Chain A
Amino acid sequence: MRFGAGKTAVHALDEIDLNVRPGEFVSIVGRSGCGKSTLLRCITNLLPPTSGDISVMGMSPGEYQKDKRFGFVFQDAALLPWKTAAENIQLAMQLSRHAPQAKRQQRVRDLLDLVRLSNFGNKYPAQLSGGMRQRVSIARALSYEPEILMMDEPFGALDEFTRREMHDELIRIHAERPHTVLFVTHSLSEALYLSDRIVVLAARPGRVKSIISVENPRPKGGIAHADTGYLRQLAELEELLHE
């Protein structure tokens, strides 16, 4: 994959060969500048690659985007400050022309229940905590029922405690409404805790260094942080990134 044209072309990604199964939770890790976010934007057709070939459920990203739409959770939640949590979610359905207007209200309530913000629907983003804003953002991404959810360092700006809380929330939501998830992060422990598989990218140009299958993905009870298998795989990942 290449970007730009002529002299300003930046060789951002190279030989990314990756197959994701439906329903799978795949994390993409790597150092800053390795093209993690760029990869998500290629797959969702926000950035058209100059060469290479991306196939989403047998369609090109452009075709898929027109037909089905991706869910996308951004790093900064990217909610509209002038709309309440409920209005932000509703707007996504309105823009994507998902569900008849009469049913949208009920769907907004369901989604707020799903992310445990039932009582915060009429609050503006500025009145919510960082974690709450990201939950609204997840609800918004799920509002038009995409099969594939893209998450671009969604918890990167949160403090450690909120972050761990959000991990368990995400695991719960993923169990309740199975999606294919592509999750970009620079936290190895986060990737290991959430994913079925982890793609390690190397930088300049971004390429796949290794793909690791998580041995015991998303164990019940949230004790994974102390599990020996978890710690061994974490050490392996660390080594891979520092090579």
Chain B
Amino acid sequence: MNNTHSLAGRLRQTWPALALFGAVMLLWEFSVDWFDVPSFLLPPPSVIFLEMAENWQMLLKNLWATMLAAILGFALGTAVAIALAILFLYSRTAERALFPWAITIKTIPVLAIAPLLTIWLGYGIAPKVAIAALICFFPTLVNAVKGFRTIDSQTVEFFRIAGASKAQLFRHARLYAALPYIFAAAKISASMSVIGAIVAEFTGANSGIGTLIVTAGYQMDATMLFAAIVASSIATIALFYVVVLIERFSLYWPEARIDA
């Protein structure tokens, strides 16, 4: 029987991953000790954990600066992409005019455009949001454009026969048809948005995980680097699962989810 939602079922599914994780942590902890690896090269997990516990307020403050920018950028990029996809749906001319621009924006390396955006938008949250939005924009645009058009010709014909307007066709059919595609893209861009925000922080920002990483890098502080990586990873995974949760709630009908 299907018991993937019970605690025992969950455990049966996840124990190999948990066991391997534990084994790797133990191996790491003890091999650093056995082989006398200096702590400034590779600190053991226990030291990283202690560092995080000691500096949790500072880490949390920087993490929040990064995550806020990432979430805002994610929301902005996704919203603009969906709006453009809807425009493309009703205007082939707009699609032909604007799609090459979207592809061009996609081809610019984020690392190259980040310093430019910092010059234009300053050292605050704005350039981070912009970069995160830019990264999220393209996958969502491509998926949403496809999603809005996946309803089959017989469904379109049914709406016409029933005397429905274009708006009704959108509201009752196209929107739902696009949701699985939009969520497939959102799951990818949720984690990408955090990377975008961190990259933007590399080129200069007042606070954030990226700033922390740059500073720790100059100081050759491997422990702080690991602490920053672990903190941002945990937050990114959390953001991903928030999106998954919203997806579960939104795609309520059977066989709605497309796996990506």
Contact = CB atoms under 8 A, between A and B. Distances in A.
A120 interface: no
Contacts of A66: 163
Contacts, number: 62
Interface stretch (B86-94, B194-202, B249-257): B249-257
Contacts of A83: 172, 253
Given A95-B168, A126-B253, A127-B254, A78 B162 contact: no
B155 interface: yes
Interface of A: 41, 44, 46, 65-66, 69-72, 74-76, 78, 80-83, 91-92, 95-97, 124, 126-127, 144
A96 B152 CA distance: 20
Given A78-B158, A80-B155, A95 B163 contact: yes
A80 B176 CA distance: 9
B154 A96 contact: no
Interface of B: 152, 154-155, 157-164, 168, 172-173, 176, 252-256
A46 B253 CA distance: 30
A145 to B, nearest CB: 13
Nearest to A80: B173
A44 B172 CA distance: 22
Given A95-B162, A95-B163, A95-B168, A75 B154 contact: yes
Question: Would you call the interface of chain B mostly helix, strand, loop, or mixed?
Answer: helix
Contacts of B161: 44, 46, 65, 69-72
Contacts of A70: 161
Contacts of A41: 157
Q: Which of A76, A81, A144 has the most CB of B within 10 A?
A: A81
26 contacts: A41-B157, A44-B161, A46-B157, A46-B161, A65-B161, A65-B163, A69-B162, A74-B158, A75-B154, A76-B152, A76-B154, A80-B155, A81-B254, A81-B256, A82-B176, A82-B252, A82-B253, A83-B253, A91-B172, A92-B158, A95-B159, A95-B168, A96-B162, A97-B163, A124-B253, A126-B254
